[in-house]
Amino acid sequence: MQFTDRLLQELTSLRSVGSFRQLPIVPEGVVNLSGNDYLGLLEDEALREAFYAQLKPRASLLSAASSRLLTGNTPEAIELEETLAAAYGTEAALVLGSGYHANTGILPALIGPKSLILSDRLNHASLIDGIRATGVDFYRFRHNDLAHARNYLERYAKDYDEVFVVTESVFSMDGDCTDLKALVQLKRDFPNVVLYLDEAHGVGVFGDKGLGLATAQGVHQEIDILVGTFGKALCSTGAFVVCSQAIRDTLVNKMRPFIFTTALPPINLAWTKFVVNALPTMQARRAHLQTMAAQLAEAIRAKTGACVSTSQIVPYVIGSNEDAIQEAKRFQTAGFYVLPIRPPTVPKGTARLRFSLSAALSSDAFNRLLDVL
C-alpha cells in the first residue's frame, strides 16, 4: 500500500470510532472552561502593563538565540532560577523549555545502572515517554494507590540502587490529588526511594504563596525532583525543576532536552519571574477558584453519583465518545467552551467533559454553568 493511502486508512478508522482529532478554533465571546489559565492572568491587562512598565531593555529581547550551554545563559534565566530556589528553599533550580522537555529528559539523565521506576498508572504522557526512554525496569501502580506502590517497594526495593517513585500532585484528567504526606512516608521507610513529583496543575493554584500542593502540605523539602510548568496557571511558557545542586549539575551535563535546545527568550523569563514574585498576592483568586471547584464537584456528584476531583479540574465522566460529544455541544450552545476528552487521552469507556476552572470566571457565569449542568 502506498504511504498516503495507509495514512488515509488510519485516519478513516480513527473517524469510525469517534477519535479523530482536529485543531479546534475557540469561538469568540464564549466562557473558556478548557484552558489552564487557572488564576485568570491571561487577560489581566493591568498585570501585563505593570510588567512592561518595569521591564529593562536588556530583558526585552525576544530570543536567546542559543542553548544555555553556549551563549543562551542569560541573566534572566539565572535570576529566575535564583528566585525559584529561594522560594522553595532548595539548593538549586533549573529552568527548562517546557514541561514536555522536563519530563522526557530528567529521568533518562538521572537513572543509573541499577535503577527501578514506579509510576502512577495515570501519569501524563510526557512522564510515560520519559520513563520509556530510560529503558530501565518499571512498574505502574494503580492510580493514586500508594499502598500499591508500597507493595512494589517491599518486594523489589532491596534489589536496586535506587527506586524512582514518579507521580503528579494534581492529575490532569481526573483533578484528584496525591496524598503527599503518604508519598514522603515511602521515602522515610525505604531510604533508596527518590521522589519525582509533577506539579503542572498544582503550581500557582495551591499553597498560600501559590507554589503548589507540596508546599501547601509542607513536604516540598522532601521531594527530590519537583517539576512545575509555567504554561498553565502562571500564564507564561517553560518549566522548572527545583532540586539539589548535584541533581542540577547532572541535568546540565546529561539532560539532552536541556542541552540540545535553544534557551527560552529573556522577555519570557522576565515575565515568568514577575508572575512568580506576584503569586503570594493572588490568594483571593485561589480562594475564588477553590470555592467554585468544590461547588461544581458537588453538583456533578449529585447528578452522576461520582466525582473524585479535589482541585480546579473537575471531570464529568459520561462514558461513550458520542454522548460526550453531544453533551459538550450542549454546553457550547449555552456559551461555555467545554471539550470532550476521549480515549486514548483517558481510559476506554470514560469519555468525559473536563471543566477546567479559572479565577477569571465571574460568580454569575459560574451560576449559569451550574444551571446548564
Q: Which residues bind ligand PLP (CB under 6 A)?
A: 98-100, 103, 124, 126, 168, 172, 198, 200-201, 229, 231, 239
Tell me which residue has cell 529552568. Answer: 95
Q: Least distance in Å: CB of 302 to ligand PLP? A: 28
DSSP conformational letter for 264: P
Question: What is the spatial order of strands in the sheet that 351-356 belongs to?
Answer: 313-319, 351-356, 340-341
Q: Which three cell numbers stand for residue 100?
A: 514536555
> 263: which residues sit within 8 A by CB, 6+ positions away?
64, 66, 67, 68, 72, 73, 74, 77, 97
Render the burial of 315-328: b for 16+ CB within 10 Å, e for the rest: bbbbeebeebbebb
SS3 labels along 248-269: HHHHHHHCHHHHCCCCCCHHHH
Residue nearer to ligand PLP on the CB measure, 96 or 153: 96
Residue nearer to ligand PLP on the CB measure, 138 or 160: 138
Q: Least distance in Å: CB of 88 to ligand PLP? A: 18
Q: Least distance in Å: CB of 109 to ligand PLP? A: 17
Residue nearer to ligand PLP on the CB measure, 108 or 373: 108
Residue nearer to ligand PLP on the CB measure, 168 or 327: 168
Q: Are 97 and 246 in contact (CB under 8 A)?
A: no
Phi-psi region of 341 (alpha: psi -120 to 50; beta: other; left: phi over 0): beta
Residue nearer to ligand PLP on the CB measure, 157 or 239: 239
Residue nearer to ligand PLP on the CB measure, 167 or 327: 167
Q: Least distance in Å: CB of 235 to ligand PLP? A: 12
Q: Least distance in Å: CB of 102 to ligand PLP? A: 7
Q: Least distance in Å: CB of 39 to ligand PLP? A: 16
The CB-side HSE value for 70 (13 A sphere, CA atoms) comes to: 9
The pairing of beta strand 351-356 with beta strand 336-337: unpaired
> 209: which residues sit within 8 A by CB, 6+ positions away?
87, 215, 279, 280
Residue nearer to ligand PLP on the CB measure, 98 or 358: 98
Q: Least distance in Å: CB of 46 to ligand PLP? A: 25
Q: Least distance in Å: CB of 353 to ligand PLP? A: 17
Count Cβ atoms below 10 Å from residue 12 Cβ, excluding itself.
10
Residue nearer to ligand PLP on the CB measure, 162 or 168: 168
